[in-house]
Amino acid sequence: MSQHPSLRSASASSAKRNVLKRFERVDVLKKHGQWKEGDRVTGLRKTKPE
């Protein structure tokens, strides 16, 4: 009998996420020089995970 996907180990669920949290998006924008201290954190431009 096979194991249900929801019961797999935690290591299998650590797949790369394609949606970033706000602080992660700010970090990516800082690296690219597109965000500086004091800018708004709402309405950030789209970024791709690295």
Residue extents of the structural domains in the chain: 15-50
Task: Give percent above pLDDT 90 in the chain.
Answer: 30
What average pLDDT does range 28-42 have in this prediction? 91
Enter the pTM of the model.
0.64
Residue-level length of the chain: 50
What is the pLDDT confidence band of residue 9, given thresholds at 50, 70 and 90? confident
| 34 vs 16: CA distance, rounded Å | 24
Give the model's pLDDT for residue 50.
77
Tokens of 28: 């990516």
Asked whether the beta carbons of 28 and 20 are under 8 A apart, the reply is yes
Q: Is the predicted pLDDT of residue 32 greater than 60, yes or no?
A: yes
